[in-house]
Amino acid sequence: MKINLKEAFILDRYEKTVQFHLPVGEELRSLAEFAEEPLVSFTIRGKYGLVQCETVIDFACTSYCSRCLAPVDKKLHIENQRRMITDPLMETEDTILIDPNYDFFPDEEAKSQMILEFPERFLCAEDCKGLCPICGCNLNLGDCGCGSESENP
């Protein structure tokens, strides 16, 4: 998908919304499982050469608890407003850089925002006890007794 945004930069006023379901490629699939394609919306508003892009991305995915390996479902919501620029020297965290021909690639942008915002780890619960390092049993389901060995010599 490619949208040319030249008009957004040269017209006094410009507004366009693109909404789509993002096909989940290999890069995203390596982070988690997606039962449905993420819903993405970009609203681009230009005003005398100043172009702002409002991004909203909603998605649900499943990955594994980094402590006990139980599956964890997560719903994530990304929402931000960033300035669109064509000059790489002006790039900051709050800008979206598009190419010098004003071509914008919404699916690429959505994908990179998702990767950037993706949780570093999934936990089934904040206080997940994880797996016993000795016998490997799930300590959330009960105490295996390995940890109390020193008390019963």
- List contacts with Zn ion (CB under 5 A): 65, 67-68, 70, 124, 128, 132, 134-135, 144, 146
Q: How far is the CB of 152 from Zn ion (least distance, A)?
A: 14
CB 79, CB 56: distance < 8 Å: yes
Q: How far is the CB of 67 from Zn ion (least distance, A)?
A: 5
Pick 56 or 70: Cβ nearer Zn ion:
70
Q: Which two tokens stand for residue 1?
A: 């998908």
Alpha helices in 2-120 (DSSP H): 6-10, 26-29, 106-117
Pick 24 or 72: Cβ nearer Zn ion:
72
Phi, psi angles (nearest 5°) of residue 107: -70, -35
CB 20, CB 40: distance < 8 Å: yes
Q: How far is the CB of 62 from Zn ion (least distance, A)?
A: 14
Q: How far is the CB of 81 from Zn ion (least distance, A)?
A: 35
Pick 11 or 134: Cβ nearer Zn ion:
134
2/102 Cα distance (integer angstroms) = 10
Pick 40 or 68: Cβ nearer Zn ion:
68
